[in-house]
Structure 1
Amino acid sequence: MTLLLAPMEGLLDATLRDVLTRAGGVDRCVSEFIRITNTLLPERAFTRVVPELLHGGRTLAGVPVRPQLLGSDPSCLADNAARLAGLSPFGVDLNFGCPAKTVNASRGGAVLLDEPELIGRIVGAVRRAVPAHLPVSAKMRLGFQHDGVAEDCALAIAAAGADELVIHARTKAHGYKPPAYWERIAEVRQVLPPGPMRVVANGEIWTVEQAQRCRAVTGCDAIMIGRGLVTNPGLGLAIRGQAGGVPWPDMLPLLNLFWQRVCRRVERRHRAGRLKQWLNYLRKTYPEAQVAFDQLRVSNDPTHIEAWLALHAPQPHRLPGEAHAPWLAEKPIPAAPAEIAVAC
């Protein structure tokens, strides 16, 4: 089974991608979206969101990262995809799934699912703009307010030449409320013509059993997981049969590494919030994370966080070339508020 790490705007950035791919079990990542409006972005706009492009397109653990573009103008998306292709990414992904109101209000993400013809034009324009060897993929939900357009959107994406389609098994209206309607992914797959486009299942996969059942229901040999891996970084290993996953003592150096990355990329006043944001997810899996969260939740002082880590978390193991990782030298950037973290 192929396992993809999903994008999560406001949380799953290069920092957390680096840490989670070290835990193991992930075959490929998709970045947070890069918003495309009416401008041809400079290369630095792509490398700021996906600094792995300066490292051969991979995380330091060697896992490929596919940048994701979001927008509604086929021509402008094509021009930016062509510029992105010059940075040798592991493909170009297109976002037709983000449910955030601010994104949808500016004609981005899931709102485009009501316009299958436009989606087809976007995918086709990007496909023509990038070299043939470069994969073009898309991510969609089942629809905006209802799922009656799911087949039309998938057919448009396939006809436009996409190599891969990730389907989040809920509509925008469903949000993230259980359940995910995996059977609808199977129904969409049935109407697609034979061809090279691979379908990837996404949505409500938190355990090994759910991953196996999703695969059985959808018929997909690839799944994408977001919150499940943020909550349990060992889930990928467990799905692959390494039942122990990542025990808490092995998580502590990764937590320390995450903090070090945050300190290099995030303004000081936002750093404590980023660590607590991840601990808030981890406490769903690890009782020890609940203890850590309780001890740190009232503090926004990075000095307090560093003292706690020095006492509880060993220094992480360094990977070859890590001292020269490009994002370590970047100027700090503002952190996205925790409340806007959404899986896109």
Structure 2
Amino acid sequence: MKLVLAPMEGLTDPLMRDLLTSVGHYDWCVTEFIRVTDSLLPEHVFYNFCPELHNGGKTKSGTPVHVQFLGNDANRLAQNAARVAELGAPAIDLNFGCPAKTVNRHRGGAVLLDEPEVIHSLVKAVRDAVPAHIPVSAKMRLGYLDENHTLDNAMAIESAGASWLTVHARTKSDGYKPPAYWEKLPAIQQAIKIPVIANGEIWTLEHAERCLEISGCADLMLGRGAVTRPDLVNRVRHRDDTRQFSWPQLVQLQLYFLEAASKTEQGLVGRYKQWLGMLTQGYTEAALLWNDIKKIRELDLLRAALEQQLTEK
């Protein structure tokens, strides 16, 4: 079973990838999308989105990091994919799932799901430009406003040479509203021969088990559930092991998060509070801590509050 950490804009950035892969066994993770418009991007852009390129394309713990692109210009996508492959990216992923209005308005992400022939041309251009030993994959939703082209898109991606396909089991119109329609995935698997990775609404071990059963997929991509419960990936991988992270272990992870030096103090405080807010969905202790620190704006005071959590335990 392959378990993958999802690309999530503004959430699974390099810091979060480092943290989650340090405590969880992922087969690989994927960068936030790099937007390609009309140019070959300078190297510093690739390193900004994927600093792991300085480490052989892997996180500090050794998890491969696939580089994701979003765009609609086949030639420019191909050029940028070839360049980041030269820099050491272990694989390339193409985004056909982003539901953001700004992205869709500029003909990127999920809006392209109404144009299977365009999706084919984009995937093929990247596949042809990247060395054969480097996989090219794609991530899509069930559709844009409807599911009229679900199978057409899946077959277009396969015929263009993709090694696997990840499917977020909702349309763009569905957004992130529950449920995810895992029952729609078997038809996709029957239509193509490449592996299909299931994604969407996997928050707990029970959700993962149901998704595997209903979708028929062997592999899962974990998104917000992985951020909300950092031990989720290990619980899914080792389902007979009922141990969960203790709150002191999670406090240590939070302290590790606050040691990041690549963000401003204000930026790091904001990112930390975003994460703690998500942790409240999985841990009652996080909700209590949130009430204590929600007005704090200084890193030193946040660290002190977390260290106090350890002394109290």
Scaled by the length of structure 2, what TM-score is found?
0.96
Structure 2 counterparts to residues 34-53 of structure 1, below 5 A: 34-53=34-53
State which drifts further: 232-241 or 70-79: 232-241
Structure-2 residue corresponding to 1:139: 139
Alignment correspondent of 2:289: 292
Show the counterpart of 2:265: 268
SS at 1:212's partner residue? helix
Q: Which residue of 2 aligns with 1:98?
A: 98
| Cα distance in structure 2, aligned partners of 1:20 and 1:307 | 23
Alpha-carbon contact 2:258-2:299 (below 8 Å) kept: no
1:202 alignment counterpart: 199
1:279 corresponding residue in structure 2:
276
**How many Å separate the matches in 1 of 2:112 and 2:214?**
27
* SS of corresponding position for 1:176: coil
Inter-partner Cα distance in structure 2 for 1:292 and 1:38: 46
Tell me how large the CA RMSD over aligned residues is: 1.3
Higher relative contact order (CA 8 A, sep 6+): 1
- Provide the rounded CA distance (Å) in 2 between the counterparts of 1:200 and 1:81: 22
Q: 2:304 aligns with which of 295, 302, 307?
A: 307
Residue identity matched to 1:57? G
CA distance in 2, matches of 1:78, 1:313: 50
- Once the 2 structures are TM-superposed, how far is the Cα of residue 7 of structure 1 from its aligned partner? 0.8
Conserved 8 A contact 1:36-1:76:
yes
Partner SS for 1:90: coil
- SS at 1:142 equivalent: strand
- Kept after mapping to 1: 8 A contact 2:120/2:157: yes
**Deviation, structure 1 residue 106:** 1.4
1:1-344 to structure 2, matched below 5 A, reads 1-192=1-192, 194=193, 197-239=194-236, 240-241=238-239, 242-261=241-260, 264-312=261-309
Does the CA-based 8 Å contact 1:237-1:243 persist in structure 2? no
What displacement does 1:311 show? 3.1
Contact preservation (8 Å) 2:166, 2:198: yes
Q: Are the counterparts in 1 of residues 248 and 309 from structure 2 also a CA contact under 8 Å?
A: no
CA distance in 1, matches of 2:185, 2:81: 28
Kept in 2: contact 1:113–1:153 (CA 8 A): yes
Residue in structure 2 matched with residue 323 of structure 1 by the alignment: none
Q: Which moved more, 1:245-254 or 1:113-122?
A: 245-254
Task: Give the residue type in structure 2 aligned to 1:77.
Answer: L
Cα shift at 1:6: 0.2
CA distance in 1, matches of 2:149, 2:34: 25
Q: Deviations over 1:296-337 (max 9, x none)?
A: 1122233321322343359xxxxxxxxxxxxxxxxxxxxxxx
AA matched with 1:209 = E
SS in 2 for 1:145: coil
In structure 2, how many angstroms separate the alpha carbons of the residues matched to 1:247 and 1:237?
14
Amino acid at match of 1:244: R
Contact 1:255–1:313 (CA<8 Å) still a contact in 2?
no
The SS at the match of 1:274 is helix
**How many pairs align?**
309
Range 61-70 or range 210-219, more displaced? 210-219
Other structure's SS at 2:143 match: coil
Partners of 1:274 and 1:205 lie apart in 2 by 22
Structure 1, gaps ≥5 residues long: 315-344
In the TM superposition, what whole-angstrom CA distance separates every residue of 1:164-196 from its partner, at most 9, and x where no partner exists?
Answer: 10000000000111111111111111122x4xx
Task: With the length of structure 1 as denominator, give the TM-score of the two structures.
Answer: 0.87
**What do the CA deviations read for 1:80-108 (whole angstroms, capped 9, x no partner)?**
00101101212000000011111111111
Q: Match of 1:286, as an amino acid?
A: Y
SS of residue in 1 equivalent to 2:29: strand
- Say which SS state the counterpart of residue 259 (structure 2) adopts: helix
Structure 2 unmatched runs, 5+: none
Aligned-residue offset at 1:247: 1.7
State the alpha-carbon separation in 2 of the partners of residues 36 and 260 from structure 1.
Answer: 32
Question: 1:252 Cα deviation (Å)?
Answer: 1.3
**Contact (CA 8 Å) 1:23, 1:246: kept in 2 or not?**
no
* TM-superposition CA deviations, 1:191-248 (whole Å, max 9, x none): 22x4xx2110001111112111211222211100100110000111111223213221
